[in-house]
């Protein structure tokens, strides 16, 4: 490699490492990295495969999912499920070619693999991976620590600590821009009876199943938390009380209609509050809690706001 070529490569490698270390999230870092690779070497059609903490593999690819991306994912992952993020680099997505896989890092915590169309750029990508390995390992270690700190171990949902942080962020945003958001508090009705009748293992299965159900009911912008015990909360950005009430009604109905395990059915009671000027994040939680208690008092399996029945 000539002096100019090596100088250009080093600048590129440095830029990519800075992408990884400056991004606030692993997701953003991987999107930026694939975008940089794809813009610099379009013919390489880079894809990153990221698995961390036993969660579903994340795929970041410049390949169109229907025109090579899904095929490459099946090959690399041996048919395992994944979440696919298409990274646009301008123009038409590149076509898939003869692929070469380059492991960047692999440990008990995380694994990251780069897949590219093999070509004259292979040598540069091999050197690139060597440079990236320490930065990627550091990023994934940081992400694993965040996951442990902000995730509930049983359900995998965000936890109470994460709710406190995100409520403050949402409150500050709403106060600054005059927008609104709502908060739901949901509690499983008669959960103690489930534990007493079927045992705590079945109770844990119900909690995990409900967590998946709640996560599947909301929008991508919404956030579901395990607040504690059998209580869950849902943060709804840019959502007023009326829309939050409709969503809560759908959640309540869907939970009621679901067979959670061996024909076991449950119901949930839900309380809702909406941000307004002068209401603190703590006050917002207290209002949603009052709505929840009101739903319990009025017979359970219902949705209540401070304004009345939804």
Consecutive H or E run containing 135 = helix 122-150
**Of residues 110 and 232, which shows the higher confidence score?**
232
8 Å CB contact between 287 and 272: no
The whole-model pTM stands at 0.58
Q: Are 244 and 238 in contact (CB under 8 A)?
A: no
How far is 174 from 94, CA to CA, in rounded Å? 41
Work out the pLDDT band at 191, boundaries 50, 70, 90: very high
What's the pLDDT score for residue 1?
52
Task: Say whether pLDDT at 65 is over 80.
Answer: yes
Q: State residue 137's pLDDT score.
A: 85
The model's pLDDT over 241-286, given as tens digits with 9 standing for 90+, comes to 999 999 999 999 999 999 888 779 999 999 999 999 889 999 999 9
Nearest to 97 by CA among 135, 60, 47: 47
Model confidence at 195: pLDDT above 70: yes
Please give the structure tokens belonging to residue 131.
């440079």
Could you tell me the strand order of the sheet in which 303-305 lies? 223-228, 231-237, 181-188, 268-274, 303-305, 308-309
Structural domains in the chain, CATH included, are: 3-150 (3.30.450.40), 160-309 (3.30.70.270)
Which residues are catalytically annotated?
230
The pLDDT value given to residue 310: 47
């Amino acid at each position: 490699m000539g002096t100019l070529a090596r100088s250009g490569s080093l600048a590129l490698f440095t830029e990519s490492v800075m992408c990884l270390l400056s991004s606030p999230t692993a997701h953003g870092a991987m999107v930026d990295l694939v975008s940089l690779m794809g813009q610099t070497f379009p013919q390489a059609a880079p894809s990153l495969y990221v698995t961390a903490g036993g969660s579903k593999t994340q795929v970041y690819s410049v390949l169109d999912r229907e025109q090579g991306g899904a095929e490459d994912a099946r090959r690399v992952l041996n048919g395992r499920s994944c979440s696919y993020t298409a990274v646009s680099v301008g123009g038409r997505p590149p076509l898939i070619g003869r692929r070469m896989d380059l492991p960047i890092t692999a440990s008990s915590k995380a694994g990251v693999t780069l897949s590219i169309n093999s070509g004259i750029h292979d040598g540069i990508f091999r050197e690139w991976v060597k440079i990236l390995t320490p930065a990627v390992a550091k990023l994934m270690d940081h992400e694993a620590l965040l996951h442990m700190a902000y995730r509930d171990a049983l359900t995998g949902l965000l936890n109470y600590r994460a709710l406190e942080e995100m409520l403050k962020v949402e409150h500050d945003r709403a106060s600054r821009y005059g927008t609104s958001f709502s908060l739901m508090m949901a509690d499983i009705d008669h959960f103690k009876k489930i534990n007493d009748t079927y045992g705590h293992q079945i109770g844990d299965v119900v909690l995990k199943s409900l967590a998946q159900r709640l996560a599947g009911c909301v929008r991508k912008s919404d956030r579901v938390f395990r607040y504690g015990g059998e209580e869950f909360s849902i943060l709804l950005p840019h959502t007023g009380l009326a829309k939050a009430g409709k969503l809560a009604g759908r959640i309540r109905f869907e939970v009621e209609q679901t067979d959670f395990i061996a024909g076991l059915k449950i119901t949930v009671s839900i309380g809702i509050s909406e941000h307004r000027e002068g209401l603190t994040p703590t006050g917002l939680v207290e209002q949603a809690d009052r709505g929840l208690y009101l739903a319990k008092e009025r017979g359970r399996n219902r949705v209540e706001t401070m304004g009345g029945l939804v």
